[in-house]
Amino acid sequence: MTEEISVTFSELLLAPAIHKVINEVGYETPSPIQARSIPPLLEGRDLLGQAQTGTGKTAAFALPLLSLIDLKLKSPQILVLTPTRELALQVAEAMSTYARHLKGFQVLPIYGGQSMSQQLRQLHRGVQAVVGTPGRIQDHLRRGTLKLDQLRCVVLDEADEMLRMGFVDEVEQILKHTPPGRQMALFSATMPREVLQVARRHLQNPVEIQIKTKTSTVDTISQRYWQVKGMHKLDALTRILEAEDIEGMLVFVRTKTATVELSEKLESRGFSCAPLNGDMTQPMREKTVDRLKAGTLDIVVATDVAARGLDVKRISHVVNYDIPYDTESYVHRIGRTGRAGREGQAILFVAPRERRMLAAIERATRQPIKAMSLPSRKDISNRRVDQFKEQISEAMESQDLEFFEEFIDSYQHEHDVGFRRIAATLSYLMQKDKPLQPEGGEIEEVVEEREERQPRRNQDRNDQNQHLSSYRIEVGRTHGVEPKHIVGSITNEANLRSRDIGQIKINNDHSIVDLPEAMPPEVFRHLQKVWVCGQQLQISPAGESRNARPGKPPAFGKGGENRRFKPGGKKPPRSRRGPQ
């Protein structure tokens, strides 16, 4: 393991178009894995990196490899292998963001369950980078629809996870299709023997990097996350501001532009707010911080770089409006609250596809982050009523009200109206711009725990009632298969959850697995071609002769349809009539 490297992104020899994106995003200091990986990858060296998810690995390989891309060449020059479709999409999206100033650059995510015709069209048009799962990449190689003769670098991301899911044989076969002189980078959270064997066979004199995470958080900081769903993040943040006791708040976003846009939107909703970013002059930044310290400003929307070293004791809340790219940034962000022994609140907004980063943050900080419900309309109403009462009491005690008392007496006399009616009317006039009873329908948020942590009871009941059928797959003990390999491949390729899979019985040359009987024909046909431990599943109903009507799926219910199992699609909500 090398010594700690202190370097800024401006010192790294990345392409100007990549530096432009880095400046726009607000990056300044690379994470340890980035600082150590970027220079050797720019030099064309092979690399073996050990680092946890959430340390910034994607940027560690994407930034240097994109800097070396030949935009005139419309053939794949970068191949990234990932264990799951979710990670493939995340990596492809990140590469697309980093390459937004590389004119003509195209990246294609490839994974099982996605439309093959769509992938073929995009490959025909030409792409410079391919990110995919081993099964579907191998499928394209067998078809001859993916050519790797112009490949410059292959990246194995989360290699130990690919091993766990039984993809090592597929990875080996894919690497045989790559040019002998290509560059290779392998990243893994752990280094089991099988991963090291792959590295020894395919990496040439690699630079070895090991990142040990030292992140931890302050005990005085209460951490919560909100699953982004059903409403815009701005509305969610507004609810939190309305309902919680907030002295000062720091809101983190990823870009300089976002600091200005979000600050303006919050100001238009009546909050005292200002942006803080690297484009502001030093005097402007100092003035903003001084206003926050003095209490004339309550909310600052900032980027990571602009908030470095910020020490304001009255910051009671830190909101990660945009989830950070690495765990170190998260720790630095929330460290702005909970100062001097005071209790602080850290809230993280997490989109569904960002759940992996949430898990990585929990592992790195060694602390659980609790799911939270947004304040309800009733909560906000109660809060506004309490604040209104406080305003009345404060004014009653501190102001000379003799003139207004005489005015009320006069009005009551002239109009013959009760004092209660007059007070109610004045209260209405005072609060009509910010009603004590917010308008609009009730939108209740439900705390949704992660499936692996606390499955919902109703979901469990549905799963228990789900009908399963037994299927034979042509991979067994002699092929080295384990239940985890079967579960990993089927869940990844057929858009199922592990809880949808029943009993697995492994025999010498085949296995029997219980799957939902309502699988539609297209999913069944797709699973027949899925590879596990070097063998195609060739799935068929258990007990059916292997020679009878080969490749024909069994009959499934009415019309053989069940949209829930659409390959690559989102799982729609269950029918109200009960489990299908």
Mean pLDDT confidence for 403-417: 85
Range with lowest mean pLDDT among 180-184, 270-274, 504-508: 504-508
Q: What is the dihedral of CA 381, 385, 388, 393, to 10 degrees?
A: -170
Arithmetic mean of pLDDT, 296-321: 85
CATH number at residue 369: 3.40.50.300
505/404 same-domain check: no
Q: Which structural domain range is residue 155 located in? A: 9-210
Contacts of 481 (CB under 8 A, 6+ apart): 166, 475, 506, 511, 532, 533, 535
Of residues 339 and 13, the one with the higher pLDDT is 13
Q: What percent of the chain has pLDDT over 90?
A: 27
CA 389 to chain centre: 42
- Residue 134 near residue 59 (C-beta atoms within 8 A): no
Q: How far apart are CA 511 and CA 539, in angstroms?
A: 10
| Lowest-confidence region among 5-9, 197-201, 291-295, 366-370 | 5-9
| 426 vs 125, higher pLDDT | 125
Rank 291-305, 372-386, 455-469 by mean pLDDT and report only the highest.
291-305
Does one domain contain both 166 and 19? Answer: yes
Pick the most confident of 153-157, 231-235, 327-331: 153-157
Nearest CA to 361 out of 318, 328, 327 is that of: 327
More confident residue, 465 or 352: 352
For the cut 70, the answer to whether the pLDDT of residue 376 exceeds it is: no
pTM for this entry? 0.55
> What pLDDT shows up at residue 438?
65
Do 369 and 382 belong to one domain?
no
239 vs 381: CA distance, rounded Å:
11
Contact 511, 547 (CB under 8 A): no
Residue 552 reports pLDDT greater than 80: no
Residue type, 112: G
pLDDT value for 26: 66
The Cα–Cα gap between 577 and 580 comes to: 8
Q: Tens digit of pLDDT for each residue in 494-514?
A: 767 777 788 888 888 889 998
- For residues 38 and 67, state if they share a domain: yes
Residues 270 and 196 in one domain: no
Whether residue 579 is contained in a domain is answered as: no
Mean of the per-residue pLDDT values for the chain? 80
> Is residue 578 a part of any domain in this protein?
no
Predicted pLDDT of residue 437 = 67
Q: What is the mean pLDDT of residues 148-155?
A: 95
Cα distances (angstroms) measured from residue 255 to each of 297, 317, 378? 21, 20, 34
Identify which of 182, 180, 130 has the alpha carbon closest to the alpha carbon of residue 157.
Answer: 130
Domain-embedded: residue 64: yes
The CATH number of whichever domain residue 472 belongs to comes to 3.30.70.330
Residues 88, 16 within the same domain: yes
42 against 217, higher pLDDT = 42
Position with higher pLDDT, 288 vs 279: 288
16-25 helix and 85-98 helix, angle to the nearest 10 degrees: 110
pLDDT higher than threshold 60 for residue 188 = yes
What per-residue confidence (pLDDT) applies to 8?
83
Query: Do residues 153 and 45 both lie within one domain?
Result: yes
The predicted pLDDT at position 547 comes to 47
